[in-house]
């Protein structure tokens, strides 16, 4: 009997199940059908990225987004550090929308983590962006560093999945951080002034660099320090050797909580499809929900069979026990894939 090899490469289903839980559930379903399975959790470079590369192994007390002390988890492997900015300066640390303060929120804590990483011998630092509470253009992080010149010797990688311009950060991300229209105008003005400050101080014009507005402009601040932007998904995919795993697979099953237009703009499903195209590995996708109007044409053009938990088992069951619904949803996605191919 010829062995069939499947790769399960999925993101978390936010608010429902972790990526590892989804990997485990899909593995059970595939193995029951005779597949040999290789599973890996993935992400787009935002929250949860540390889990993809082995999890945190250090905890530091730093300044939270509104000045309170927070315990921030990060990772140090030899001379390579990995930091999720959300662990120090994230929206989730504020305890709900009623506590958001878009004007005051600062990236000081992220800068403190960067400084500690350098002090402990890091020569490469990867900062995963996403989940930010801040729109300070990274100034808080820079001001927290005792010696910014040390970063000329550091390989500083900025992992993100957006291309927002620096001065557009408030307009694009401000509303989700509780900013009013008046505050968005003030924050935009602050960012416009920072472009000039960074140009004069570091000789870097962050104003026109795609992605510099990520995490409320923190990406721009890190670019001013000498950092370079990498697509978050691609960085993680390289870390887990996704190309080798795809080459060894007869099928790849990917997925994320909601499959919509953004899924093909730096997110996991689109990233897996793009990498799988190089190896010719067929792709199916399992999601919590699918915006069919937004993605059906894209799914068809790439011959990706897709099904959602809500479509297959109903919304109540999808939320109550998402893992139980993975098996029948996978069957539906594979049938859809067969129909497209």
**Six token digits for residue 329:** 């949803």
Domains of the chain, CATH where assigned: 4-42+243-340 (3.40.50.10350), 49-233 (3.90.1510.10)
Of the pLDDT bands very low, low, confident and very high (cuts 50, 70, 90), residue 255 is very high
Question: What confidence score (pLDDT) does residue 2 get?
Answer: 63
* Whole-angstrom distance, CA of residue 231 vs CA of residue 162: 8
> What does pLDDT average to over the chain?
94
Check whether 230 has a pLDDT greater than 60.
yes
Give the pLDDT score at 162: 86
The interaxial angle of helices 326-340 and 19-32, nearest 10 deg, is: 70
Distance CA 267, CA 254 (A): 11
Neighbours of 309 (CB within 10 A): 30
| Residue 1: pLDDT over 60 | no
What is the reported pLDDT for 130?
86
What is the H or E stretch that residue 181 is in? helix 181-202
* Rounded average pLDDT over 96-102: 86
Select from 125, 224, 212 the least CA-distant residue to 162: 212
Return all residues near 58 (Cβ < 8 A) that are at least 6 apart.
73, 74, 75, 76
Q: What is the DSSP string of 41-87?
A: E--SSSTTHHHHTT---EEEEEE-TTS-EEEEEEEEETTEEEEETHH
Residue 184: closest CA among 174, 193, 176, 194: 174
Please give the model's pTM, rounded to 2 decimal places: 0.90
Please state, for a pLDDT cut of 70, what percent of the chain lies above it. 99
Quick: pLDDT tens for 156-201.
999 998 889 999 999 999 999 999 999 999 999 999 999 999 999 9
Phi, psi at 68, each rounded to 5°: -80, 150
pLDDT of residue 259 exceeding 70, the answer is yes
pLDDT interval class at 220 (50, 70, 90): very high
Q: What span, in angstroms and rounded, lies between the C-alpha atoms of 83 and 179?
A: 26
Enter the tokens of residue 309.
């938990």
Indicate whether 107 pLDDT > 70.
yes
- pLDDT band at residue 98 under the 50/70/90 scheme: confident
pLDDT (0 to 100) of residue 339: 85
pLDDT in tens, 37-85: 999 999 988 888 999 999 999 999 999 999 999 999 999 999 999 999 9
């Amino acid at each position: 009997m010829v062995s069939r090899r499947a790769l399960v490469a999925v993101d978390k289903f936010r608010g429902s199940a972790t990526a590892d839980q989804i990997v485990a559930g899909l593995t059970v379903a595939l193995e029951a059908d005779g597949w040999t399975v290789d599973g890996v959790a993935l992400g787009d470079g935002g929250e949860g990225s540390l889990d993809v590369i082995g999890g945190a192994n250090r905890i530091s007390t730093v300044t939270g987004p509104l000045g309170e002390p927070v315990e921030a988890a990060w990772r140090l492997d030899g001379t390579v550090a990995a930091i999720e900015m959300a662990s120090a300066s994230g929206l989730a640390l504020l305890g709900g929308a009623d506590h958001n303060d878009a004007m005051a929120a600062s990236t000081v804590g992220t800068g403190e983590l960067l400084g500690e990483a350098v002090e402990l011998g890091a020569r490469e630092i990867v900062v995963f962006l996403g989940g930010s509470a801040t729109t300070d253009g990274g100034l808080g992080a820079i001001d927290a560093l005792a010696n910014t010149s040390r970063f000329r010797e550091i390989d500083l990688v900025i992992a993100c999945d957006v291309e927002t311009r620096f001065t557009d950060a408030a307009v694009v991300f401000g509303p989700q951080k509780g900013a009013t229209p008046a505050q968005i105008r003030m924050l935009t003005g602050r960012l416009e002034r920072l472009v000039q400050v960074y140009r004069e101080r570091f000789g870097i014009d962050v104003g026109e660099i795609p992605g510099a507005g990520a995490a409320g402009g923190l990406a721009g601040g890190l670019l001013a320090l000498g950092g370079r932007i990498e697509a978050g998904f691609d960085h993680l995919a390289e870390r887990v050797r996704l190309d080798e795993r795809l080459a060894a697979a007869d099928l790849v099953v990917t997925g994320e909580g909601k499959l919509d237009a953004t899924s093909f703009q730096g997110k996991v499903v689109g990233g897996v499809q793009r990498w799988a195209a190089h190896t010719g590995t067929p792709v199916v996708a399992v999601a919590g929900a699918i915006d069919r109007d937004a993605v059906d044409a894209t799914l068809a053009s790439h011959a990706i069979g897709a099904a959602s938990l809500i479509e297959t088992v109903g919304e109540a069951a999808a939320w109550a026990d998402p893992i139980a619904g993975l098996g029948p949803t996978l069957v539906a996605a594979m049938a859809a894939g067969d129909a497209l191919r």
